Amino acid sequence: MLNHTLIALFERDLKRVINELELYPNEADLWRIEKNIANSAGNLVLHLVGNLNTYIGKEMGKTAYVRNRELEFSLKNVPREELIAKLNNTITVIKDALQNVTDVEMQQEYPLLVLQEKTSTEYFLVHLSTHLNYHLGQINYHRRLVV
């Protein structure tokens, strides 16, 4: 079933984000911005945590998560270990939310209008996976640029 595949991919790629964070020799570099890069690695991590906890955790897992999207991009200097803890918690939230989703539920309409038009839950979850990988690539590039 697709839900098990998505759980495996989200876990794999969030662990890759954790690995990227661990490769920064200087924790302060997680928050550096230079050379026309708009977002630091730390802010991209906060954004991923907010995004996934909102659209998978809250909507599908019925968690009480409250998103503050503005803080995802304005908050600074969150300790690396706290970012890693947030990512590990997000993995758990995704597993809990998706483990029992059926193929029929995957074909149903995702409950929120997030993109320009309504989509199936399956489509939106695949979108979230590609969104994660887009930002994973940005984090990797940021690390190599500032280190």
- CB neighbours of residue 129 within 10 Å: 16
What is the per-residue pLDDT across 73-130, written as a single tens digit (0 to 9) for each?
Answer: 999 999 999 999 999 999 999 999 999 999 999 999 999 999 999 999 999 999 999 9
pTM, rounded to two decimals:
0.96
CATH H-level, domain 2-146: superfamily: dinb family like domain (1.20.120.450)
Name the phi and psi angles at 78, rounded to 5: -70, 130
Answer whether 20's CB lies under 8 Å from 48's CB. no
* pLDDT single digits (tens) 42-55: 999 999 999 999 99
